[in-house]
Amino acid sequence: MEAIRAEYLTKTFGKLTALDRLTLSVEEGEIYGLVGPDGAGKTTTMRLLTAVMDATSGDAWVAGHDVEHEAEAIKDHIGYMSQQFGLYPDLSVQENLDFYADIYSVPRRGRNEKMDQLLAFSNLTPFKKRLAGNLSGGMKQKLGLACALIHTPKVLFLDEPTNGVDPVSRRDFWRILYQLLREGVTIFVSTAYLDEAERCNRLGLLHQGRMIAEGAPNEVKKLMPGVLLEVRCEAPRKAVRLLRERLPGASVSLFGNSMHVTASAREETLERIKDTLASERIELHSLREIAPSLEDVFVSVLAARKETAHV
C-alpha cells in the first residue's frame, strides 16, 4: 500500500520552477531517499508533501489523505524534521520533548513511557536535563528526531537530517532509522550524501526540480552507460586535463588521488589511457574496471543530459 504518492507535482516562484511535474510513489514501511545537490528541489518537495506549502499544480497524497484538501489530517499522521528543526536551546532535552508532546496533543496517559522510550532509543537518557543549546550537532539531530516521533507518526519526513553532522553521529542516526523501519514507519529522507542514499530501499535523483532517475540503488546504477575505469597514476591533476583532451566522448573525473573514466569502448579507452600517460612520462600505477557508485551514476546522467541539451 502506498504511504506517499505524488502526480505531476509542480511549484513555481515567479519565473523560477523549483519543482517540475514530480511523480513518485513510496510504499508503506520503506525508506525512500530523495537525492540531489543544493537547489535541486528537495526541500520544496518536503514542504509540499507535508502541507507546509501549497503546490502550483499537481496532486499528492500522504497516509491516504489529500495534501491540498486534508492538510490538518495529514499533520496528525506525519513527523517532519526540517533542516532548521525548531528546538529551543534554552529548554532542556526533557522540556523540548514535553513542549512537542503538548503541540501534538499527546495523551497524558502513557506520555512518560513514550518519552522514556524515545530517550533510550536515541541514547539521550543521560542528557535529558541538559539544555538543547549545549548539545553536540549529532545529539541535537537525535533530539529533533525524538520530538518528531513523539506522537507516533506513520510517515516520517527528514530534510537532510545529517547535514553537517560528524560521520559517527551520521552512522548512529541511520541505525535509529533502521530501528524505526522495523517498527513499520515509512521514512522519506532527502540527502546530498550519496553514500547515505545507498542505505535506502529506493531513491530518486533530483536535478533542477526534475526527477532524472529512480529505483533501488542497484537499479539506478544500471542506468550508467558504458564502463567505468579507475586510473591511479602520478600527477593525477595533470593526467585529468590530458585525458579530457584526448578522450573525446569520455567522462573523466578526479576522485581523491585517482581518476574515474566513463567510456563506451572499453579496450580502445584502456589503450588510449596507457598511450596518453606514457607519452607524457606519467607513471601509471593501476588501471582497472570498477563497479560504479551512485556518485558516478549521478555525474554520468547529468553529463548525458547536458550533451542532449546541446544537440
The structure's pTM equals 0.84
| AA identity, residue 28 | E
List the CATH code of the domain at 227-291. Answer: 3.30.70.100
Radius of gyration of the chain (CA): 23
Q: What percent of the chain has pLDDT over 90?
A: 59
Distance CA(263)–CA(48), nearest Å, equals 39
Q: What percent of the chain has pLDDT over 70?
A: 97
Q: Find cell 569520455 and name the residue.
A: 250
User: Does pLDDT of 304 surpass 70?
Assistant: no
Q: Would you state the pLDDT for residue 226? A: 84
Q: Would you state the pLDDT for residue 30? A: 95
Question: Any bridge partners for residue 263, and if so which?
Answer: 227
User: Does pLDDT of 307 surpass 60?
Assistant: no
3-class secondary-structure state, position 299:
helix
User: Does pLDDT of 311 surpass 80?
Assistant: no
Q: Which residues contact 89 (CB under 8 A, 6 or more apart)?
A: 131, 132, 133, 134
Which grid coordinates are listed for 210? 526534475
List the CATH code of the domain at 2-221. Answer: 3.40.50.300
Q: What letter does residue 36 receive in the DSSP assignment?
A: -
Distance CA(150)–CA(114), nearest Å, equals 7
Give me the phi and psi of 149, to 5 degrees please. Answer: -100, 0
Q: Would you state the pLDDT for residue 83? A: 81
pLDDT in tens, 209-244: 999 889 999 898 888 878 899 999 999 999 999 999
Give me the phi and psi of 96, to 5 degrees please. Answer: -65, -40
Q: Would you state the pLDDT for residue 310? A: 45
Q: Would you state the pLDDT for residue 100? A: 92
Q: Find cell 510504499 and name the residue.
A: 27
> Quick one: average pLDDT of 259-283?
92
> Quick one: average pLDDT of 152-168?
88
Confidence of residue 278 (pLDDT cuts 50, 70, 90): very high
Give me the phi and psi of 9, to 5 degrees please. Answer: -70, 125
Confidence of residue 246 (pLDDT cuts 50, 70, 90): very high
Q: Find cell 529548554 and name the residue.
A: 91
93: how many CB neighbours lie within 10 A of its CB? Answer: 28
Strand ranges in the chain using DSSP code E only, listed in sequence order: 2-13, 16-27, 31-35, 57-62, 65-66, 78-81, 155-159, 186-191, 202-207, 210-215, 227-233, 251-255, 258-263, 284-289
> Quick one: average pLDDT of 91-114?
91
Q: Where are the domains of the chain?
A: 2-221, 227-291
